[in-house]
Chain A
Amino acid sequence: MSSSVNAIALKSILHKEVHRFMRIWIQTLVPPAITISLYFVIFGELIGSRIGQMGGYDYMSFIVPGLIMMSVITNSYSNVASSFYSAKWQHNIEEMLVAPVPNWVIVAGYVGGGMARGILVGLIVTLVSLFFVDIQIHNIWVIIATVCLTSATFSLGGLINAIFASSFDDISIIPTFILTPLTYLGGVFYSISLLPEFWQGVSQANPIVYMVNAFRYGFLGVTDVSLTIAFSVLGVFIVTLYTLAMVLITKGVGLRT
């Protein structure tokens, strides 16, 4: 198909995806704002003041980037996982499957939708944090690049999850048992340099550590890991997950009988 046909198809999927999470904004956009406010009240005001400094910054400033990243990750992932799975479940995914939409456009459309929600929630959460802390910016490009690549990674993850899922339970298992632990242990709340050496080594196998640290670098200029490695990890994840998603959709796993 010609590129303008594909562009219109892509725009239609993006349109549909953005409209979906905007329509249910109470479920999609409000909860992250409430959650982060709670984190600020508890960890920032109540407990944070007793913790003192972390990585050379007061605790609240230290955790802000991680908290933003956490909401970007969960929202990108769950947007694509639930949207794609419910399209499968209601069979309206067939609308796309019968049309001459190339598979890469389907992937790009859903991932784009997940990124849109991830980034929008990231912005909302950032705005909310401004009520609690002054946010400084060390390098805006690192911030933008990290947030885009991270939300792309987790959107792809959510898509793959939804492709395999055969019940609504299946799209909550991975977030609950894998994503949440990895995020909490991903250096959102602490600098991994505080950990015993062994656990520092283990943490290096956690991809979220790299994303959180690169993102924190963008704000504070401090990081536990090298940026080159952080971006390489993101790159490898995106390429691998994208390839996997394409193979699965092309084969029709979970989509065609």
Chain B
Amino acid sequence: MRKALEISNLKKIYKGGFEALKGIDLTVNEGDFFALLGPNGAGKSTSIGIITSLVNKTSGSVSVFGKNIDTELEAAKSYIGLVPQEFNFNQFESLMRILVNQAGYYGVDRKTAHERAEKYLKKLDLWDKRDNASRMLSGGMKRRLMIARALMHEPKILILDEPTAGVDIELRRSMWEFLKELNQQGITIILTTHYLEEAEMLCRNIAIIDQGIIVKNTDMKSLLSSLNVETFILDLDSKDLADHSSIELTGFTSRLVGECTLEVDIDKSQTMNQIFTQLTDLGINVKSMRNKSNRLEELFVNMINQSHEAAEEK
């Protein structure tokens, strides 16, 4: 399998001395749907900036489909389509012009560019707005326009930096469908996101980055199966709680949060029945129950905490 992206020992120290990337290694195969996850300030946009040559690296190497950005920058660039985190349109240009000019920068002639612009504007539901200045678009429309713009030269690899930030749920789903479709056509996709559900839904492989270090790089399936603790939130009947100052469940870690809400951690070897039996014995009724959060989120938080602890021990 060809490598769409190969990053090794990439470091970035910004002016002023801040070390945003502390030597990351990352490989993304052709055809992959890859998620780059991490908290705010982890270094996701910095990495993407370096790959797309908007940020100068301090050291390390980056190759895109075998083209090293130090020696064959223009070839490397021509493979990539970028959807940046921040809107970066000319506010006054029309959608059509933005797209056609962008294609032009990649050497696509104007006729072909017009055809493609029409295709993607229709596909992304922006065709009616084609003659509007980009500043007249809503936030969600701007996101879609950035996707259209990134596709104008038919890139082999599409890099999206938080493409669904500020996008409503319905639109987010249709964006997911569209991205899946692109991936099925053979375009390698890398995305960063804070919506963990999004990564779980779309991506086959995942890297988690924190404080400029890759703390986990694996496929989504084994990541999810390595997850063995889940937290449930139980809403208890307040009447039943009158005689209990605290609740101890043998074999479980639990805590009362608020008046009558109990959080219980359950690992894979345990069952829900054990909880209910114990609560029944205590004479406490459970009125409702829900998952505390997305499993991935849980895992993510644990992992980040672990890496912070590891860093402190050093």
Contacts and interface: CB of A to CB of B under 8 A. Distances in A.
B86 interface: yes
Contact of B109 (A8, A16, A102): A8
B55 interface: yes
Label chain A's interface by main secondary structure. helix
Given A100-B75, A256-B56, 11 more contacts: A4-B107, A9-B107, A13-B101, A13-B104, A13-B105, A15-B101, A94-B88, A95-B149, A97-B53, A98-B82, A99-B102
B192 to A, nearest CB: 16
A49 interface: no
Interface-central residue, B52, B82, B104, by most chain A CB under 10 Å:
B104
A190 to B, nearest CB: 41
A23 B84 CA distance: 27
Interface residues of A, number: 32
B104 A257 contact: no
A252 B55 CA distance: 9
Interface of A: 1-2, 4-6, 8-9, 11-13, 15-16, 19-20, 23, 86-87, 90-92, 94-102, 252, 256-257
Contact of A100 (B49, B74, B97): B74
B106 interface: yes
B101 A97 contact: no
Nearest to A7: B107
Interface-central residue, A13, A99, A257, by most chain B CB under 10 Å:
A99
B195 interface: no
Contacts of B80: 98
B52 to A, nearest CB: 5
Nearest to A256: B56
B14 A257 contact: yes
Interchain residue pairs A-B with the least CB separation, the first 3: A12-B104, A5-B107, A99-B105
Contacts of B75: 100
Contact of B54 (A5, A23, A94, A100): A94
B91 A90 contact: yes
Nearest to B104: A12
What range describes how many residues of B lie at the interface?
35 or more
A98 B107 contact: no
Given A92-B88, A97-B54, A98-B82, A8 B107 contact: yes
B86 A91 contact: yes
B228 to A, nearest CB: 41
A50 B313 CA distance: 88
A102 B105 CA distance: 10
A98 B108 contact: no
B104 A11 contact: yes
Given A87-B90, A96-B105, A252 B74 contact: no
B99 to A, nearest CB: 10
B163 to A, nearest CB: 16
B92 interface: yes
Contacts of A99: 77-78, 102, 105-106, 153
Contacts of B55: 256-257
Nearest to B91: A90
Contact of A9 (B14, B84, B104): B104
B74 A102 contact: yes
Contacts of A6: 107
A95 B104 contact: no
